[in-house]
Structure 1
């Protein structure tokens, strides 16, 4: 049995409003155990004997069937999330800045995002399957990365969390 963090894309931020208690019930009905939601932004902890890919597929299918939206989920063993967080390459807490991790399941998309950040001169670095980045609070949506994340091409294979959220997921 593996403990996973499942990160739902675009929940309670972009028109898709879900009650986390209902999400937990749907995940439990889908066969996951020890289901716990963290915050209201689509972070779910769960146990499963399946692979991360199988967890992702089952979670997406359950959300689509039960809530009727185009659900996208990225799932990682919790120890992998801890390792990703531990390797954040910049100062973790900078006043008036956000420290982010964008999880990316497509290697080509990750390379595109790294190149985009480099070309824009943004504070970003490639990690193992993630893009680490940091931006002034007032500039998140206007940054090259922020503008790109909303494009359709990236919805199925990326989701972003700030480090404070990851700390709560890992607590």
Structure 2
């Protein structure tokens, strides 16, 4: 049975090494590959589609399609809508924070527990970090890009592939799922 899947591409850029210049072309590529109900949200690599493939197989298939078509080595992290909704529901930060300053770093695989513990014990300046098994919550009150808790820093510490989206983006992606259901 085909299931709704959310694919979050890691490190997509409009130009350069990991560029995907037009989401419309990516949508067509995925439809031509046999995926159904393909939608994208903004240029940063957010894809919704229906597939019978497991999350692991879908991740590999999309990675390979991107490498073949664009020459880009882009990780495709695959989640079910209910997983993302669960992480939003479990967000440890107060609901009155600016949702554009609350970030969710989702991991492709579960990080090592000891690495998570070491990360939890570090100080991150103005940014605040909360950890769960496969989602790291970051509140960066001023700027995420200049905080010490960037996606790259989290990957270095945890030795896993991550991709980060803010709360606004995740809510909009889930709204696309709801309007299409």
TM-score range, shorter chain: 0.7 to 0.9
- Give 1:90's match in structure 2, choosing from 68, 90, 93: 93
Distance 1:129 1:110, change over 3 A: farther
* Equivalent residue number for residue 3 of structure 1: 4
Task: Write out per-residue CA displacement over residues 13-70 of structure 1, whole angstroms, 9 at most, x where no aligned residue.
Answer: 6833321111111212222111000111100000011111111111101111100011
Partner of 2:149: 145
CA spacing shift, 1:170–1:65, aligned 2, 3 Å: same
Distance 1:25 1:34 in 2: 11
Pick one of 112, 121, 138 that aligns with 1:118: 121
More strand by share: 1
Q: TM-score, normalised by structure 2?
A: 0.81
Where does 1:1-171 land on structure 2 (aligned, <5 Å)? 1-12=2-13, 15=16, 16-18=18-20, 19-95=22-98, 98-108=101-111, 112=115, 115-121=118-124, 122-138=127-143, 140-146=144-150, 148-149=153-154, 157-171=161-175
Deviation, 1:109, is 5.8
Q: What is the DSSP-based 3-state SS (H/G/I as helix, E as strand, rest coil) of the residue aligned with 2:111?
A: helix
**Cα distance in 2 between the residues matched to 1:73 and 1:114:** 26
Specify every segment of 5 or more residues in structure 2 that has no aligned partner in the other structure, as ranges. 176-181
The root-mean-square deviation of aligned C-alpha atoms, in Å, is: 2.5
Return structure 1 stretches of 4+ with deviation > 6 angstroms: none
- Give, in whole Å, the separation in 2 of the partners of 1:34 and 1:91: 35
For residues 94-133 of structure 1, give each alpha carbon's deviation from its aligned partner in whole angstroms, at most 9, with x where no partner exists.
2597100001123236763563353124411112411011
Question: How many residues are matched?
Answer: 168
What runs of 5+ residues in structure 1 fail to find an aligned partner? none
CA distance in 2: counterparts of 1:13 and 1:40, whole angstroms = 7
SS at match of 2:8: strand
Q: Tell me the TM-score normalized by structure 1.
A: 0.85
